Amino acid sequence: MRVGILGGGFNPPHLGHLILAQEALTQLELDRVMFMPYGEPSHRVLEEDPGGDVRITMCENAVGGDARFSVSRVEVDRGGPVYTVDTLRELRASSPDDSLYLLLGGDQAASLQSWRSPEEVLSLAVVAVAERDEWRRAEIVERLGPLCSEDRLRFFDMPRIDISSSMIRLRARAGRPIRYLVPDKVADYVAAQSLYGATAGAVSP
């Protein structure tokens, strides 16, 4: 099985995440895309983090009944700082016959050399990069240098979607609607749990 791995804070998950997952699935001919919420990321602080379990629930609400997508608790349940290479090792051990595709934005791919054990990351998974205006293929290949290998690096197109989790949190806090920026079940959950200071006004326009 060809499995895409989409890691992120998902704080909250939004339509941009779902579009990226769908574009990767169709263009790379994947069987499934696995949403992998960060537990305790090693490289950043999650602002206004409601907790891993809440972000897992929001991802489950986001993917709904779409059989092409799943949600993994691997990083949330591991505890301690999370490194991608550890996640890939665990996935490889549990499903040795799967082909893993690590789905990254251009900014993430360009910084791959600074990750823990980048050579091993590339040996465990194909790195699949969403190519957008901010980061073009040639620039990413130049940044990766000797790490770049045609059989371990793939690109796919991603339409420009100007939605971010931080923008959604700001709108929720200001009482502005977030519906149509996130799946309806996520908007309902954010309002019901008063996440990011949201009220019922964050659900409906």
End-to-end CA distance of the chain: 41
Alpha carbon of 55 to those of 5, 61, 89, 92, 151: distances in Å? 16, 10, 23, 24, 33
With a cut of 70, say whether residue 202 has pLDDT above it.
Answer: no
Most confident of 4-18, 35-49, 104-118: 4-18
Shared-domain flag, residues 78 and 177: no
**Total number of domains constituting the chain:** 2
Shared-domain flag, residues 125 and 59: yes
Judge contact between 85 and 102, C-beta under 8 A. no
Shared-domain flag, residues 32 and 133: yes
**Which has more confidence, 40 or 102?**
102
Shared-domain flag, residues 43 and 103: yes
Give the CATH number of the domain where residue 65 resides: 3.40.50.620
Q: What residue type is 170 in one-letter code?
A: L
- Assigned token pair, 29: 């001919």
Judge contact between 113 and 9, C-beta under 8 A. no
d(CA 58, CA 185) in angstroms, rounded, equals 8
Shared-domain flag, residues 34 and 108: yes
Cβ within 8 Å of residue 65, ≥6 positions away: none
Per-residue confidence (pLDDT) for residue 147, from 0 to 100:
72
Please tell me whether residue 194 adopts helix, strand or coil conformation. Answer: coil
Per-residue confidence (pLDDT) for residue 43, from 0 to 100:
63
pLDDT average, residue stretch 25-31? 98
Shared-domain flag, residues 118 and 49: yes
What digits encode the pLDDT tens for the residues 148-172? 676 788 999 988 889 999 999 999 9
**Which has more confidence, 200 or 142?**
142
Per-residue confidence (pLDDT) for residue 134, from 0 to 100:
60
pLDDT interval class at 203 (50, 70, 90): low
Shared-domain flag, residues 92 and 16: yes
Shared-domain flag, residues 143 and 182: no
Shared-domain flag, residues 177 and 82: no
Shared-domain flag, residues 118 and 192: no
Please tell me whether residue 166 adopts helix, strand or coil conformation. Answer: helix
Q: Give the range of the structural domain holding residue 150, as residue numbers without chain letter.
A: 2-161
Shared-domain flag, residues 154 and 186: no
Per-residue confidence (pLDDT) for residue 41, from 0 to 100:
65
Shared-domain flag, residues 122 and 155: yes
Percent over 90 (pLDDT), the chain: 66
Inter-axis angle of helices 15-27 and 52-63, to 10 degrees? 60
- pTM for the structure as a whole: 0.91
What digits encode the pLDDT tens for the residues 44-60? 677 889 999 999 999 99
